[in-house]
Amino acid sequence: MEKSYARIRLDSSQYFPGNTITGEAMFYFRSPKEFRKIRIRLRCHEHTHWTKTHRHHNSGTRRNQTVTHHYNGDNDILLLDNYILDQGSLPSGTHVFPIRFQLPLNIPSSFVGEWGYIKYSIKITVDLPMRFDIEDTMVFNVIAPIIMPIFLMPTTISGERSICCCFCREGTIQLQVSLNRTTFVVGETENIRIYCSNLTNVQITSVEVKLKQKLLYNTTQPCDSRFTSKIINTLQNAGVGANGENTYHVAFQVPNIMIPNFASCMLFRSFYTLKVVAYISGCHQKLEAICHVNVIHQNTQNEPVCSQPMPSSLPSISIPSDNLPSYEEATGNSEKHLQM
């Protein structure tokens, strides 16, 4: 004879913030059941985990031992319970109850990364006294586009490096990068103006533009942090000869990709940087100009973006002080800063 069981059926496997989740909770009882409650639970849970291995010498056993430490983070971003029935009983057979939950607006997207995940699930439970509960769980995806106002103020960042030979200063190389805005939209093209001045006798082999994503993972037991990073897009331009200069008008394409939305998350954060790199020939270090940017899916209410025009000349100014926090500040550990 078939055992008692529970089954979940949802009308969709994919939802957006603000959507209503609908479906059915079906129970089959082989015999009449007395229960304490029947509950349907909507949950959004974020979890992180990794291990670190340490070796030490045990003076008691006179042997080297390996100890593995586990780092964990767990947090319920969303937890809603709907009690279908309180204490009572139901006869044998099949019983069907509707599932209906309203998703909040400010929630993260489903996510699976190297050291953690954000997972949405529906769980139904028949709480039986003195017996194993009858349960079923279904995982579904939430797509949460990042929609926010565009920062319209143009921004200019700069970098400078002195080139020396035999302890004598030969000259300087300067980068000036002008942006229409510091918020990029996936699928769109950003116009970037780069001015490169080379007042030295060495060559700049190439000037490269990179858009980089860094994801921060946190744990709470014990507290720790880790980064992952990847290049979203890169564009290489010709270099500048000795004692020369060049102005680049770059049409930089932001790929039409799904970027994670970590709204209301405690264990995850994302950072994006636009980096312009001048590669210098010989043994000289490269010159970089870095700007922290936002990457979103669309402008608020999908309105057209009307930015102020770029200035015709590029003044030499320092990097603005109102950038996003540094990666060291976010993690509290400067040793974890990953170099590109």
Confidence of residue 152 (pLDDT cuts 50, 70, 90): low
Q: Which of 80, 114, 131, 60 is nearest to 227 (CA)?
A: 114
In 3D space, the residue among 214, 224, 230, 215 whose CA is nearest the CA of residue 331 turns out to be 224
What is residue 201's predicted lDDT score, i.e. its pLDDT? Answer: 87
| Domains of the chain from N-terminus onward | 5-142 (2.60.40.640), 147-326 (2.60.40.640)
- Considering just the CA atoms, what is the radius of gyration of the chain in Å? 28
Quote the pLDDT of residue 103: 97
- For residues 82 and 328, give the distance between their C-alpha atoms in angstroms, rounded to a whole number: 43
Is 67 in contact with 53 (CB distance < 8 Å)?
Answer: yes
Query: Which tokens go with 156?
Result: 């200019």
Q: Indicate if the alpha-carbon torsion angle 187, 189, 195, 198 is positive or negative.
A: positive
Instruction: State the pLDDT at residue 55.
Output: 86
Question: Residues near 128 by Cβ (< 8 Å), separated by ≥ 6?
Answer: 33, 34, 35, 36, 134
| Nearest by Cα to 296 from 327, 265, 270, 268 | 270
pLDDT in tens, 205-257: 999 999 999 999 999 999 999 999 999 999 999 989 989 999 999 999 999 98
Task: Count Cα neighbours of 329 within 13 Å in the Cβ-side half-sphere.
Answer: 5
CB 29 within 8 A of CB 128: no
Pick the more confident residue, 41 or 340. Answer: 41
Q: Which amino acid is at 21?
A: I
| 246 within 8 A of 302, measured Cβ to Cβ | no
Q: What are phi and psi of 130, to 5 degrees?
A: 60, 20
pLDDT digits (tens, 9 = 90+) for 38-56: 999 999 999 999 999 988 8
pLDDT of residue 338: 35
